[in-house]
A = this chain, B = another copy of it.
């Protein structure tokens, strides 16, 4: 990770944009394809201006057909290009499931390396933005079970730029998840110029001693807020940003637990079968006797989706208050 000296203040949209832009400039095998990524510059304006700068061969407005967005990208990747495929909203990734799970994730394996699939699939996910039933979903747990895939869900501009750059350079398919609610609300310093962050490493975003919290996405920022609140109450919470969902960084989690002996996992995605299940099961296998309290998961409720009506969205999203309360309870346990 080579960091230069002029950090810039960016929001998450700008960080995604910067990583994409730099990759397009650096490597002419890189191209972007998806619905409305051209003249419109993507529905969040992430690729605004790219069409003019890089031309329609490299910035491809695709037909409205997700299986082909990913499938054509798989073919490009097999042939040596470095496509970055965009799914406009995570909710619309289902038609591409076959190409991601059945094809991209298995290309290297089924040919024993005769062909590889260096492909990035970017998609905005998550709720709290009045996206209603079909523009709010979390999808990480539908994919994290799949060997051959990598899944990233960074939450800060610096992590996004470094990890997206790493994903584009990665020789295997990477699903890159961007939480919509952090797009413009989260800002941070981003090292200027080229750098990468290794895939598969969690990051301790706040050091603490009485409780380990593992989270990612929008929730990560709330968890940090809650932990800071507790700090004022004299309670010390360590907050780990998972960042990489597959591969998952066992070491950072287990190291932290040796110190805190208590674990709270927070994610917006539904609880049953979510990422928290694997973290909990892994910790129980590896560090059962390090635990002074049951592992707790604070997650989105087990319903198909958050609703459009405000009260329904609020009920689904985990409030910072609830996080703080769960932290207090677990520390007091």
- A236-280 contacts to B (CB < 8 Å): 246, 248, 269-270, 272-278, 280
Note all chain B residues with C-beta closer than 8 A to A144: 272-273
The distance in angstroms between the C-alpha atoms of A120 and B186, with both chains bound, is 44
Q: From residue A220, how far is it (CB to closest CB) to chain B in Å? A: 20
- Whether B285 pairs with A297 at a CB distance below 8 angstroms is yes
In this assembly, does A105 line the interface, its C-beta being within 8 Å of a C-beta of chain B? yes
Q: A285-B297, A304-B147 are in contact. Are A272 and B278 (CB under 8 A)?
A: yes
Using CB atoms, name the residue of chain B closest to A106.
B304
In this assembly, does A133 line the interface, its C-beta being within 8 Å of a C-beta of chain B? yes
- Whether B133 pairs with A110 at a CB distance below 8 angstroms is yes
Q: From residue A41, how far is it (CB to closest CB) to chain B in Å? A: 27
Using CB atoms, name the residue of chain B closest to A102.
B94
The distance in angstroms between the C-alpha atoms of A277 and B275, with both chains bound, is 9
The distance in angstroms between the C-alpha atoms of A77 and B212, with both chains bound, is 47
In this assembly, does A145 line the interface, its C-beta being within 8 Å of a C-beta of chain B? yes
In this assembly, does A8 line the interface, its C-beta being within 8 Å of a C-beta of chain B? no
- Whether A281 pairs with B304 at a CB distance below 8 angstroms is no
Note all chain B residues with C-beta closer than 8 A to A303: 109, 147
Q: From residue A195, how far is it (CB to closest CB) to chain B in Å? A: 29
- Whether B95 pairs with A305 at a CB distance below 8 angstroms is no
Q: A101-B94, A110-B304 are in contact. Are A281 and B285 (CB under 8 A)?
A: no
Identical chains in the assembly: 2
Segment among A9-17, A162-170, A196-204, A288-296 that sits at the interface with chain B: A288-296
Note all chain B residues with C-beta closer than 8 A to A297: 281, 285
- A82-130 contacts to B (CB < 8 Å): 91, 94-95, 97-98, 101-102, 105-106, 109-110
Q: A106-B304, A148-B304 are in contact. Are A277 and B281 (CB under 8 A)?
A: yes
In this assembly, does A142 line the interface, its C-beta being within 8 Å of a C-beta of chain B? yes
Among candidates B98, B272, B285, residue contacting A95 with C-beta atoms closer than 8 Å: B98
Using CB atoms, name the residue of chain B closest to A108.
B304
Q: A94-B101, A305-B106 are in contact. Are A285 and B278 (CB under 8 A)?
A: no
Using CB atoms, name the residue of chain B closest to A132.
B110
- Whether A277 pairs with B273 at a CB distance below 8 angstroms is yes
Among candidates B97, B141, B147, B246, residue contacting A94 with C-beta atoms closer than 8 Å: B97
- Whether B101 pairs with A273 at a CB distance below 8 angstroms is no
Note all chain B residues with C-beta closer than 8 A to A91: 102
In this assembly, does A302 line the interface, its C-beta being within 8 Å of a C-beta of chain B? yes
- Whether A304 pairs with B145 at a CB distance below 8 angstroms is no
Return the 10 tightest CB-CB contacts between A and B, nearest first: A94-B98, A145-B273, A97-B97, A280-B281, A288-B294, A277-B277, A277-B281, A109-B304, A277-B278, A141-B145
- 5 further A-B contacts with Cβ under 8 Å, apart from A144-B273, A147-B304, A273-B275, are A105-B304, A110-B304, A281-B284, A281-B297, A285-B294
Interchain Cβ contacts under 8 Å between A and B, 11 examples: A94-B101, A94-B102, A109-B303, A109-B304, A142-B146, A145-B272, A273-B275, A277-B278, A280-B281, A281-B295, A288-B295
A interface vs B, CB < 8 Å? Answer: 67, 91, 94-95, 97-98, 101-102, 105-106, 109-110, 133-134, 141-142, 144-148, 246, 248, 269-270, 272-278, 280-281, 284-285, 288-289, 291, 293-297, 302-305
